[in-house]
Amino acid sequence: MFDVPEDLKAILDACPGWQVAGSVAELTELAVGDAVDGWHEVAYDVPGRGPVVEARVCRVNNGIAANYLEPYMRRRDPDCMVIGDARPTNKPRYAERFGVGFEQTRAETFDWLKTQPLALLPFISGVPGKGIDAIAVVPANAGFFALGLALLQGILGPDEIRPDFHPRAVVYVAPPFRHTHFDGKQVVVHNRLEHLHELFSYNLYPGPSAKKGIYGVLLALGEREQWVTAHCSTVRIITPYGKRLTVMHEGASGGGKSEMLEEIHRERDGRLLLGRRLADGDERHLILPRGCQLQPVTDDMALCHPSLQDGDGRLKLIDAESAWFVRVNHIDRYGVDPHLEEQTINAREPLLFLNIRAVPGATALIWEHIEDEPGKPCPNPRVVIPRQTIPGVVNGPVRVDVRSFGVRTPPCSRQAPSYGIIGLFHVLPPALSWLWRLVAPRGHANPSIVQTEGMSSEGVGSYWPFATGRRVDQANLLLTQFREGRRMRHVLIPNQHIGGWKVGFMGQWIARDYLARRGPDPFDPDQITPARCPLLGYALNSLVIEGQDIPPIFLQVDRQKEVGEDGYDAGAAILTDFFRKELANYLVPDLDPLGRQIIECMLDGGTVRDYEALIPGLAIVADEDL
């Protein structure tokens, strides 16, 4: 047995029994432990209520399926994080939110764990040599949660634990406290001690804890050591002509990170549906005989560790996860994504399905979503897929050529203006690209989290909901990345809507394939122009892919008749006001002086060329004299 913190030793000495899980196979068995008629109920005694069932779990042919009884528990609550310690933070502290210090709840948590049979999972948060030794302490009857954590973060078997393995992070899971202490809400408490990061998960949805909670542990480590774990997917794209391009796609939840790794969705006749006009149902199609080959690198979390960087002006990164937490709400029938469907049906290793309608002993199908209420499918069905089973996955670090940012946009019209004024894609100077990561719009109709009203921000890097420290420290770390990574192209890509047209993720897929074909070279002067809204950098005048012109109304939204210049300008005012409000949070004394200059440039109505001068990077517009 390896060394564990003293508080954990006391728990293990007192509890009825514990086991160190050594493999995913062991946890798959644990997940369905005492199943009756194929179903295992994850239930806990709650004083005053009796047994409360949190989830029902069954074994299926392709893994384990778990479903929560409460619709609220089927997605992440964006306000679940609180800080239990007194170290510097901009996040709500436990005492501020609940009126008492965390020490009492911490002690009560340990007392409760002493009454439970437990499963222990040793793992490394991050990657070996660039992460942190960690262990999770999970009630044995919540084996499906332990399975999800082991898939996402990896699990160290008996032969893989180093002699010097010493956990510096511990995850404690105590589900009934959601009812006894937190009025049924998801709560995750980070308690940053001198030499130990404690994470207390008081719910069984893995999003806030097993995934984003561990993300918070990595961000805290990077804050101390001055590096970032980026919130992004990454894909190496190989064109039909053998040209390669690596795209790093960041964005708030719902911003298209997982979709950047997906093959283009086609109509039955093979065409691509570029968009459908909301006003009259008019459609625009493209014919793309052959798409690009995709080699996935990361799905959601990427370590940008200093040991990877070689000073060539391009960021290098490596996947921080062992599995991917894939949302499949857009796969609502057979045949939408044959590649992912085949991969999950004929799984090489057990998968974990969440919010998928399943039957014991059958095959879980990713288009069979449970319903939050009759006729209303859950918007956040998920499947956890081990990365080593993903076809073409790239192991090891990669250099980034294009750094993109995704925004989930609402429809926009003259009668109902919104920030849905972003064209198929825009080219940004690095300084403006950094600003987008500070404001990180959470976006329209977000399927992954409990919905909030109006336009809201996911915060710095779009990973701010998971960070435990100060906003300005993360802003400065990101600015250093942008200052040093000058040999990358920066773009902004919307999804769902372009003005008055419903596009889903098709615009993103077309932008991806187009950028791979043309590479990061400068644009011809007649192909690109400063956008009408300076926050959108440069807009395209034209875009041709495989000999087909993309209609200009998809490139510049003010050219759509239902939007026009007046509707566009009203939407630009909404976006500008949002930037002004969010950027005010960063004007604090510790902000890097260059960062202050960039923010003040925006507040003073700076132009795209003003931003270009602040962080010179790759030329955006080609020199006509060359």
**CATH class label, 264-290+401-614:** alpha beta
**What pLDDT, on the 0 to 100 scale, is given for residue 259?**
92
> Would the pTM of this model clear 0.95, i.e. be above it?
no
- CATH number (3.90.650.10, 3.40.449.10, 3.30.70.20, 1.20.1250.20) of 6-23+77-225 reads 3.40.449.10
Q: What percent of the chain has pLDDT over 70?
A: 98
CA distance 294 to 514: 13
Mean of per-residue pLDDT scores for the chain: 94
**What pLDDT, on the 0 to 100 scale, is given for residue 624?**
56
Confidence check: pLDDT of 453 > 80: no
**What pLDDT, on the 0 to 100 scale, is given for residue 444?**
72
CB burial string 56-90: b at 16+ within 10 A, e below? bbbbbebbbbbbbeebebbbbbbbbbbbbbeeebb
**What pLDDT, on the 0 to 100 scale, is given for residue 35?**
87
Where are the CATH 3.90.228 domain residues in the chain? Answer: 264-290+401-614
- pLDDT tens for 333-389 read 998 888 899 999 999 999 999 999 999 999 999 999 999 999 999 999 999 999 999
Confidence grade of residue 446 (pLDDT, cut at 50, 70, 90): low
Q: Which long-range contacts (CB under 8 A, 24 or more apart) does 600-603 make?
A: 601/431, 602/435, 602/535
**What pLDDT, on the 0 to 100 scale, is given for residue 561?**
96
Task: Taking residues 113-118, report their average pLDDT.
Answer: 98
Confidence check: pLDDT of 449 > 70: no
Confidence check: pLDDT of 626 > 50: no
**What pLDDT, on the 0 to 100 scale, is given for residue 442?**
82
CA distance 162 to 140: 25
Q: Dihedral through CA 264, CA 268, CA 274, CA 279, nearest 10?
A: -140
Confidence check: pLDDT of 573 > 70: yes
Packing angle between helix 564-583 and helix 593-603, nearest 10 degrees?
Answer: 150
Contact 65, 356 (CB under 8 A): yes
